[in-house]
Each structure stands twice: as C-alpha cells, then as structure tokens.
Structure 1
C-alpha cells in the first residue's frame, strides 16, 4: 500500500485508482478519501479565518468536492484553491452560494405547523411557538444587524456563551 504521500503528475492518475482505504494527502489541504468499500472522493480541509468553533478555537472544516468518478484531480485542485481563497477571507465556502435560505423563523413556523398534530392540545402548540418567538425577539434586540450566516452567534447570545439559558 502506498502511504500518505503527495500526489502529483502522472503518478497521481495511476495512484488515485490504486490507493487503499484511508485519507491520502495531495498537499494544501486536498485529500483523496478512500472508503473500505472502495468509494473514492475528494475533500479539502480548511481553516476559516476569523471564525471560531464552539470551544473558541479556529473553525476547521472538511468540505466535500465530489467523487473521483466525477471530479478529476485537476478540477479538485482548482476547487480546493478557490475554497482556500474564500476561507482566507473569512467566508465559509458552503455559505457563498446565492441560493435563498429560509430564516430560522420561517423554518420554525414550518416545523410548528408540521408538529401541531403531535401536541397533546392546542395550548401546547401555542406555548411551543411562543417560546421560539420570545427567543427570536431577544436575539433581535441584542443583535440588531443579524445576518443569516451568524445564526450560531445569535443563539449563543440568547442562551449565554455555554449554550444554556
């Protein structure tokens, strides 16, 4: 078995198909992940500048780039480079898409409608949505310029730093 070596040039095309299970580095955070089933996919490990995880350390994340069958090594390297550029600017690559994302309030109301039949009575359903409304109102007061990609900060502000109220 070939160990975690840098994949490059002609060897790469050959090695991608023969490497055994594990995570094989190409450099600069790009990895070929081979599952025990033989499935192969590209991932890039990033550290998002200026963002912190729940423990206060730098936010590190693995982002899938696609299957080896669909994404060539060259494409994976290009995508990884673009992801690293965004991460250096403090932008999480999965948040850069232009798709419309529902707000927390919209999702909460949709879940409330779906769960209404499961509540013991109408009063329980009303209490559930009122509790969420109270949290949302507190967050809106505490963080007036709340953006969608900062929801976790809003929740921490509403519940205190440790996530408990």
Structure 2
C-alpha cells in the first residue's frame, strides 16, 4: 500500500511539474531556435510512424514520366521555395523554418510513393508543410509525387528543363480551364 501511495505522489508531482512547465512559457517556440535534440527525435519518430501507418493502404498508380513532367511545374511553384531543388537553394522562407524542410533531392528516397502522397495531400502539423488536398486534386498530387521520386537522380540542368516544361503544362492547363 505504501508503494502505491508513493507512486501516486510521484505521478502527481510529474503532472504538476508538466503543468508548471507548460504554463510558464519556458519552452522557446521561436522558429530561429532549434528544438532540443530529444524533442526533435521524439517528434520525428511520431511523424514517421504516423505517416507510415496512415499511408499503408494507399494504392499507388503507375508514376509515368508524363505525370512527373506535369508535377514539375507544381513543385517549382509550390515546393522548391521551402525544400530547394537540384541547383536551387531554399528561399528566405525555407531557410527560416523550424524544423528545417528536408532537401527532397536527398530525402525523397526515405519515403515510399504512397507515403509521399499522404504527406503532400495531408501536410504535417507544426512543420510548415501544408495540406495540398483543399486546393489540388489527387491526380495533381500524384503528379507531384511522380516528380519528387525522380528528384534524387536529377541534375540541376535536368531540374530546370523539367520544371520549365511543367510550368508550360500548367499554363496550358489553366488556359484550357478558363476557356471552358
């Protein structure tokens, strides 16, 4: 019985200490101050496991070169500012984010295509990664994924060429939508 009482007091003290910490404002949430290593590790584990669990049953279509070309313009316009690209540094916005957005030319291969789709479609809370599903169709998101999976093998000149083709494709698509 004494052990149970001691355990209760220890839990109560831990809860009180957590509440004091939470309400004290002691944790610095400034974007220019990195998370503590333990916090970054814990958040990374939670994020990876959540994405993998939620993406597990996603059926991945064939990610054709045509899809990748269509996704290249979207990536250039909406993703490269934060993630950078082959031969392209992150913009001021991307450089000021915490956690730092991953360089997808180096990190895309860490995720399956289904996981990348889930991330682009749903976003990641508290990272600056928005959910693109409110403004983009699943087809457009798959096009972006088709492009992203090719980034690790892409040179800077290949990126520039493909992104220019992708922007031309987006402009043509927008003109077609406005005509109808």
Q: How high is the TM-score relative to the length of structure 2?
A: 0.28
Bigger proportion of residues as strand:
1
Bigger proportion of residues as helix:
2
Q: How high is the TM-score relative to the length of structure 1?
A: 0.30
